Amino acid sequence: MSERHDVIVLGVGGTGSAAVAQLADRGVDVLGLERYDVPHDGGSVNGLLRPLRLTDIEDPADVSLLRRAETLWRDLEADHDRRLLYRTGSIDTGPRGRSLVEEAKLACEEHDLEYELLSGEGLTDRYPAYRLPNGYETVYQPEGGFLRPAECVVAHVNRAHRLGATIRARERVVNWRPLDGGVRVETDHDAYEADRLVVTAGAWTPAFVDALDGIVTSERQVLTWLQPETPGHFARDRFPIWRVQTPSDLFYGYPTDSAPGATFGRSTNRNEVRDPDAFEHEPTQADERPLREFAREYFPAGAGPTMRMESGLAITTPDDRLLVDTLPEHPQVAIGVGPSESGFAYASVLGEILADLTLEGETDHDVERFSIDRA
């Protein structure tokens, strides 16, 4: 006889840890299965920090969803012995009239968010780390901030443990199949049965849901931490999270926190990782070169010696929005995927939605725009 649970959660990363905690909180017997460590940096929970940013929301409903996510993060933090969320404000800057600044302005106007428009010089006056070319314009939004993703996973898993959940790390799910009234899940250790399955396998999701092959894709993104010459300019109480559009690229970064140095990353949108098992973890000098060149030009006081580098799997969906749904042909299976643009920020509320869909078959959150067949 296989061990039987009410719900199995496949993948205990950013989204899966939230789902396990939410399900345990509702009194069900939940088993979380994770192939690596809890947490680990070989998936999408790498890089020490994740932004929580309101300036790239597209829909009025996204505002309430993100605010709900923030409430849930705060609630989790109140239960945990380390801080999870910092509010720093957010900066979106680029050549006047180009997409990043225009879209940030539009998001603030349309969704009634507080913001300030700053010139390049105005930005440098307030935050001396910046050196922008002429003609740059900036949107400062005071509610932005960052999360500590690995710490968030730990906090969700600790909460789930307190509520009686079982989580097994270093146990890889090999496959699942529907049963009459449930599912059977086979791992490289054992086999389990449950009434319901939640698939939160991030970049590996298409391996378990054929319909998402080519829909959920991923790319290798590298971050570098550079020692600042003037550390005070990059301190988290004085330096908001940021995105900078250059004539050819989009860069992003965070203040100093959890590791020495300020963080620099680049959104590439290459979707080049065909097999997440075969992706090259070790960052190279070639990975760092464009980040360092960018830092030298736009943050000259931040481009000191390298402190750290990391690569991760940034997940993409065709419209870069969340995917959360039950499988039409197997309603006992729910899936939740957060893309790299915003996936972690929403992970807490995705856990809540997945628990709703799994236990009630519906949710009060407006999620039709995140359905599998929306395309």
* Least distance CB 360 / ligand FAD (angstroms): 22
Residue 33 contacts ligand FAD per CB under 6 A: yes
Part in contact with ligand FAD (CB under 6 A); list of ranges 28-36, 102-110, 124-132, 281-289: 28-36
Instruction: Tell me phi and psi for residue 225, to 5 degrees.
Output: -115, 125
Residue 338 contacts ligand FAD per CB under 6 A: yes
Rounded Cα distance, 31 and 28, in Å? 10
Rounded Cα distance, 319 and 112, in Å? 23
Decide: residue 286, CB within 10 A, 0-12 exposed, 13-18 middle, 19+ buried.
exposed
Rounded Cα distance, 191 and 84, in Å? 35
Residue 337 contacts ligand FAD per CB under 6 A: yes
Residue 345 contacts ligand FAD per CB under 6 A: yes
Tell which one of 22, 90, 263, 340 touches ligand FAD (CB under 6 A). Answer: 340
* Least distance CB 345 / ligand FAD (angstroms): 4
Handedness of CA 197, 21, 27, 36 (dihedral sign): positive
Part in contact with ligand FAD (CB under 6 A); list of ranges 41-49, 90-98, 227-235, 324-332: 41-49
ω into 240 cis (within 30 of 0): no
Q: Binding pattern to ligand FAD, positions 239-278, x when CB under 6 A?
A: ----------------------------------------
Tell which one of 69, 313, 334, 354 touches ligand FAD (CB under 6 A). Answer: 313
Other Cβ atoms less than 10 A from the Cβ of 293: the count is 11
Residue 183 contacts ligand FAD per CB under 6 A: no
Part in contact with ligand FAD (CB under 6 A); list of ranges 44-52, 79-87, 88-96, 122-130: 44-52
- For residue 306, give the DSSP letter: E
Q: Binding pattern to ligand FAD, positions 130-169, x when CB under 6 A?
A: -------------------x--------------------
CB-CB contact of 285 with 173 (8 Å): no
* Least distance CB 263 / ligand FAD (angstroms): 10
Which of 192, 181, 220, 179 shows the shortest CA–CA distance to 32?
A: 192
Residue 172 contacts ligand FAD per CB under 6 A: yes
Rounded Cα distance, 159 and 22, in Å? 9
* Least distance CB 229 / ligand FAD (angstroms): 26
* Least distance CB 33 / ligand FAD (angstroms): 5
Q: Binding pattern to ligand FAD, positions 211-240, x when CB under 6 A?
A: ----------x-------------------
- For residue 133, give the DSSP letter: P
Instruction: Tell me phi and psi for residue 219, to 5 degrees.
Output: -135, 155
* Least distance CB 147 / ligand FAD (angstroms): 8
Tell which one of 24, 45, 154, 167 touches ligand FAD (CB under 6 A). Answer: 45
Residues in contact with ligand FAD, counted by CB under 6 A, come to a total of: 39
* Least distance CB 260 / ligand FAD (angstroms): 19
Rounded Cα distance, 64 and 87, in Å? 17
Q: Note the helical H segments in the chain.
A: 14-25, 60-78, 99-110, 120-126, 149-162, 285-298, 343-360
Rounded Cα distance, 68 and 148, in Å? 18
Name beta bridge partners: 324: 336
Rounded Cα distance, 158 and 76, in Å? 10
Tell which one of 9, 160, 201, 244 touches ligand FAD (CB under 6 A). Answer: 201
* Least distance CB 85 / ligand FAD (angstroms): 12
Residue number of the CB atom closest to ligand FAD: 13
Tell which one of 127, 192, 294, 344 touches ligand FAD (CB under 6 A). Answer: 344
Rounded Cα distance, 182 and 81, in Å? 37
Chain position carrying tokens 């059977």: 184
Q: Residues in the site for ligand FAD, rule: CB under 6 A?
A: 10-16, 33-36, 43-47, 50-51, 149, 172-173, 200-202, 204, 221, 312-315, 337-338, 340-345, 347
